[in-house]
Structure 1
Amino acid sequence: MAHGGNPIFNGKSFRGATQAPPVPQAPYGAPYGQQPYGQAPYGQQPYAQQGWGTQPQSMTDDQLRQMYAQPSAGPADTGRMTFDDVIMKTAACLGAVLVGAAITLTVGLSLASMLMIVGALGGFVLALVNTFKKQPSPALILAYAALEGLFLGGLTRILDTQFPGVGLQAVIGTLSVFAVTLLLFKSGKVRATPRAMRFFMIAIIGYAVFSLVNMVLVWTGAVQEPFGLRTSVEIFGIPLGVFIGLLAIGLAAFSLIMDFTSIEEGVRNGAPQRFSWTAAFGLTVTLVWLYVEIIRLLAILRGND
């Protein structure tokens, strides 16, 4: 797999790589290093032409000193992904999320509910498109972020009406989990090891199956509670949604660890600069998921008071 097996770049094509020119070979029958008759030997220049050690006539001594005194080209100069690129692209995506959320937070409640559905469906479609697209598209990634903003704004508007202040609490909780996860990753105490990855895959499949079953039960009216099995089932007097929510938040936090690992490997292995958009997209998806799980958990806790 190209670039050290970085999961962000699976299936991506890397263009622009060049190979070193082949070593000049002597013609058949000629001794090694000898050129055909009338041509200069290998490594020598023809008569009256400049050799390797000859100073070009068009450059002065000062120009040569300035040229050799310049620092080596960094990743940004060679078109490679950097941490700054990922930070800037992620900030752009989160800015698009905030714009979309601001729209649904300022319009009427009925219109906000409709925009929330549009954002949820449109964001889901663009999430699939961006996930399976081999080359990242900044326009599609920003469009996904804006649609997710519509969804998050509408969801926050509805829940905040029932439980005042829950939206601000969810924002603080999301930022707190992100900061703690980043610090743990930077300290090296938490890593995406193969064993942790296997546990993550098993847990995420189980969570996806539960969410799908719960959604079907709510849509068909089999369960009357707004959060379905999350609030209709209790364990020792605690809603099932509390345990499920804590598990989902833990999965989202580990997904952040996976995102950080992919970004680190991409920068270290010299991934093309355009894939900083892919890294930003991955972080945006995880942060949206984390926010949804936190605000739903807070709503369940507030509703159980």
Structure 2
Amino acid sequence: MKTTNPVLARLGQAAERERAAGYAQPGPYGQPGYPAAPGYPQQHTPYQQQYPAGAGYPAAPPTVTPMTLDDVVVKTVTLLAILGASAAAAWVLVPDAMVGVAWIGAAVVGLALGLIISFSRMANPALVVAYAVIEGVFVGMVSKAFNSLYDGIVLQAVAATFGVFFLMAMVYKARIIRATPKFTKILVSVMVGLFAAMLINFVLALFGVNTGLRDGSPIAIIFSLVCIVVASLSFVLNFAEIEEGVRMGLPQRYSWTAAFGILVGLVWLYIEILRLLSYFQGDD
């Protein structure tokens, strides 16, 4: 089955290369192949073709275990737990005077790791876990800074973030919004534009230039609302990738890549909700 999703196409090609290197050929929906019924030809893997029965070949390599929805759920919960522990540790251990430095440092390192994971052709659980740790420091520092100004805002942002996430999960399950090729193309283009705008704003802010995107002005409120909507819709792409990845029979470790995508969306959504809430806080 062909897919119009470039990420899934790339991961599917990587999975096929793994199987061609000697793993058992999967059956329907990623299940291992079984012996053919009587009267039908037996399908052999490249490994079996290279070493026919009785030729004294070494033990066959293990079958590739396909990922399941449960795998993605477990990996996502694991990454969230790691991020939460890292955020809590950073909140407690990093002195107030170092919050800004840790905030910027974690943002830069997290961006670099995120790009490496996104463009990598192989799933790398170690990098994904490292990303969760770094993002935990980033989230912890941002949360500590905002909570020092507006008490209780962090809990409000966390509740709103997971509320939006579960709402989008229900919307996707009901097929109210579908990840069609056109929808995917438009959303990805908008996301790239928003990330470019945020990156430019971040760099200019380091030099004291105010673009109006993060100062609480009407423009800043509109920008955060747009980011919240786009971040919410990005979960539709995540859910579609997971669903199609399971159907394609991607190897189990690619569930880390799927969980990484959800984690990125949750962090982005949380930060934007946190900012938006801060714009409506009173001065007292």
TM over 0.5: yes
Q: Aligned pair 1:89/2:84, yes or no?
A: no
Cα deviation, residue 137, structure 1: 1.3
- The answer (yes or no) to whether the contact 1:104–1:150 under 8 Å persists in 2 is yes
Q: Aligned pair 1:9/2:8, yes or no?
A: yes
- The answer (yes or no) to whether the contact 2:157–2:273 under 8 Å persists in 1 is yes
Alignment partners' CA distance in 2, 1:279 and 1:218:
33
Alignment partners' CA distance in 2, 1:232 and 1:274:
42
Q: Decide which of 128, 131, 148 is 1:144's aligned counterpart.
A: 131
The residue number in structure 2 matching 1:251 is 230
What is the letter of the counterpart of residue 141 of structure 1? Answer: V
Q: Decide which of 64, 72, 79 is 2:65's aligned counterpart.
A: 79
Alignment partners' CA distance in 2, 1:213 and 1:21:
54
Alignment partners' CA distance in 2, 1:220 and 1:116:
17
Cα deviation, residue 151, structure 1: 0.3
Q: Aligned pair 1:286/2:272, yes or no?
A: no
Mean CA deviation greater in 171-180 or 206-215: 206-215
Alignment partners' CA distance in 2, 1:6 and 1:209:
22
- For residues 260-285 of structure 1, the C-alpha deviation after alignment (integer angstroms, 9 at most, x for no partner) is 00000011121111111110111111
Equivalent residues in 2 for 1:161-176, closer than 5 Å:
161-176=148-163
- The answer (yes or no) to whether the contact 2:153–2:278 under 8 Å persists in 1 is yes
What is the letter of the counterpart of residue 280 of structure 2? Answer: L
Alignment partners' CA distance in 2, 1:85 and 1:110:
40
Equivalent residues in 2 for 1:33-182, closer than 5 Å:
79-107=65-93, 108-182=95-169
Q: Which has the larger radius of gyration?
A: 1
Which one scores higher on RCO, CA 8 angstroms, separation ≥ 6?
2
Say if 1:301 and 1:10 are closer, same or farther in 2 by CA, change over 3 A: farther
Q: Aligned pair 1:200/2:190, yes or no?
A: no
- The answer (yes or no) to whether the contact 2:91–2:140 under 8 Å persists in 1 is yes
Alignment partners' CA distance in 1, 2:216 and 2:123:
42
- For residues 72-97 of structure 1, the C-alpha deviation after alignment (integer angstroms, 9 at most, x for no partner) is xxxxx961110010011111111110
Cα deviation, residue 248, structure 1: 0.4
- For residues 4-41 of structure 1, the C-alpha deviation after alignment (integer angstroms, 9 at most, x for no partner) is 4454434331212556249xxxxxxxxxxxxxxxxxxx
Which of structure 1's runs of 4+ aligned residues deviate more than 4 A? 231-234
Say if 1:217 and 1:121 are closer, same or farther in 2 by CA, change over 3 A: closer
Equivalent residues in 2 for 1:12-27, closer than 5 Å:
12=11, 13-14=14-15, 15-17=18-20, 20-21=43-44
Q: Decide which of 234, 244, 251 is 1:272's aligned counterpart.
A: 251
- For residues 52-81 of structure 1, the C-alpha deviation after alignment (integer angstroms, 9 at most, x for no partner) is xxxxxxxxxxxxxxxxxxxxxxxxx96111
The residue number in structure 1 matching 2:170 is 183
Alignment partners' CA distance in 1, 2:190 and 2:122:
29
What is the letter of the counterpart of residue 279 of structure 2? Answer: I
Alignment partners' CA distance in 2, 1:280 and 1:206:
24
- For residues 168-222 of structure 1, the C-alpha deviation after alignment (integer angstroms, 9 at most, x for no partner) is 1110111011010000000111111223223313422432343234324322223
Cα deviation, residue 113, structure 1: 3.5
- The answer (yes or no) to whether the contact 2:3–2:9 under 8 Å persists in 1 is no
Please give the root-mean-square deviation of Cα atoms over the aligned residues, in Å: 2.4
- The answer (yes or no) to whether the contact 1:159–1:167 under 8 Å persists in 2 is yes
Cα deviation, residue 149, structure 1: 0.3
Matched position secondary structure for 1:11: helix
Identical amino acids, percent of aligned pairs: 35
Cα deviation, residue 3, structure 1: 6.0
Alignment partners' CA distance in 1, 2:162 and 2:168:
10
- The answer (yes or no) to whether the contact 1:242–1:301 under 8 Å persists in 2 is no
Q: Aligned pair 1:300/2:284, yes or no?
A: no
Alignment partners' CA distance in 2, 1:209 and 1:233:
20
Say if 1:167 and 1:189 are closer, same or farther in 2 by CA, change over 3 A: same
More helix by share: 2
- The answer (yes or no) to whether the contact 1:6–1:265 under 8 Å persists in 2 is no
Say if 1:125 and 1:80 are closer, same or farther in 2 by CA, change over 3 A: same
Alignment partners' CA distance in 1, 2:196 and 2:84:
30
What is the letter of the counterpart of residue 155 of structure 1? Answer: V
What is the letter of the counterpart of residue 97 of structure 1? Answer: L
Q: Aligned pair 1:260/2:239, yes or no?
A: yes
